[in-house]
Amino acid sequence: MNAYERLTATFARIATLNEASAVLGWDASAMMPDGGAEARGEQVAVLAGLAHELLTAPQVAEDFAAAATPTDAWDAANFALMQDAHKRATALPQDLVEAISRANSHCESVWRTARQTSDFALVRGPLTEVVNLARQSAEILGAALGVSPYDALLASFQRGVSAADVAPVFADYAAFLQTALPAAEARQRANPAPAMPLGPYPEAVQEALCQRLSQAAGLDYNHARLDRSAHPFCGGTPSDVRITNRYDEADVCAALMGALHETGHGIYEQNLPTQFRRQPVGEAAGSAAHESQSLIIEMQAVRTDAYLSYLAPVLSAEFNREITVPALKSRLRHVERSFIRVEADEMTYPAHVLLRFRLEQALIAGELAVADLPGAWNEGFHALLGITPPDDKRGCLQDIHWHYGLFGYFPTYTLGAMAAAQLMAAARRALPGLDAAFGKGDLLPLKSWLNENVHRHGSRLGFNELLRRATGEALNPQAFVDHLTARYLG
């Protein structure tokens, strides 16, 4: 093998270790007994250490020195992504990598109890350690990459996006929300809609229907599973996708939207370029790109008038009660100031993200102490949405992300929502019959368009170039504003 071929073999081994860690992570959330947390944390830490050891081995540095940039565009992109990963890894000492993994696993375990009991004091110490280690890592990476510490973390989730890019986009949205939200609320008050019939909606029926709709949307269940966890997520590997969901017998819509959201993630993973599997270029284009794929299914397609006209009789038959399209619209397209991010409507959701974006920048910069987080959270939340969380369970304890060391992740949710609106507008231009397909419950034309314009490119193009190829321009938040205006203010 030549030097580049040796590098691809090394990166394939690293990817395999990461796949094992991903399945262990899924198991920790879906199957593992509480008593397994300590051992699982050590297992994941060792795998992280082994992957880091492989990536930072002297032979890898020698291979990078000896390798010429490949002439093939895909291989050249793969080589550049390898170099970036190597630069990041060699900047961080292995003992710090393992310490971060152990601290994250421990903090996540404590967080589960703290969240359940709404007791921030329980997790304050572990979270302080996680933040301190994240700050150390960010400072080292920022120096190595020539960017700010926070931008180094943000780039690990979405390449080519900086805080300076995000801040004005979010500020413009916050200004839009100040007028759009009261207008949407007034419109709802003037046009009251019928409520969904009361439950119970049996969990077993919900779960079977979720899998049926997920499969109809295009997720291949020969290479996927649907299980249960406290918080819905998509994990596993491209050939072994693991999506999870949760069920409430009083509210069937929450489970349906959760399953279809995670289905979008799973479809993306299953349709990445197989010829570059276990190579950096064969991975998704980043977290914002990934979120665009879940939201184009859940928010842009499934909540349309057309799809809801298909869904209402399906639900009526499954649960043996009359469920109307107006009732579904009332439940799924209702705007409300609320405390929980994952339950927020698509108009107020970006405010939840903006708050986290501001707070995590302050945490990483050392401008906000972990002990002061609950107060800063409540104050910032009130400034954005005019309400104050009544307890920390509905405030700063609601998300797993920071407790697992994921700083720089939150902005990608709203960047993804904006990209989803932009992609759907382009898909509608390319496929004039899209709504007719949605009216039959058929998402496969949309999936095929996404396969061609998003999925098959892997991470070769990066976020903005991916959007430019698919839609004709880089990220343009106006498509999202236009979508919200049409749906909630039209």
Residues designated catalytic: 262
* 278/215 Cα distance (integer angstroms): 25
* 111/339 Cα distance (integer angstroms): 18
Can you tell me which residue has the tokens 């639900």?
Answer: 315
Give 460's DSSP letter: S
Q: What letter represents residue 342's amino acid?
A: V
C-alpha distance from residue 107 to each of 130, 250, 312, 457 (Å): 7, 32, 42, 36
* 107/127 Cα distance (integer angstroms): 6
* 357/382 Cα distance (integer angstroms): 15
Q: What letter represents residue 389's amino acid?
A: P
* 203/205 Cα distance (integer angstroms): 5
**Sheet containing strand 234-237, strands side by side:** 224-228, 240-245, 234-237
Closest by CA to 400, choosing from 356, 358, 441, 363, is 356
In 3-state terms, the chain is what percent helix, strand and coil (to 5)?
Answer: 70, 5, 25
Closest by CA to 486, choosing from 433, 432, 437, 424, is 424
Give the torsion through C-alpha atoms of 9, 13, 18, 22, to 10 deg: 110
* 134/361 Cα distance (integer angstroms): 12
List, in order, residues 6 or more apart from 432 with CB less than 8 Å away.
none
For the chain, helix (H) and strand (E) counts, in that order, are 20, 3
* 189/255 Cα distance (integer angstroms): 26
Pairing state between β 234-237 and 240-245: antiparallel
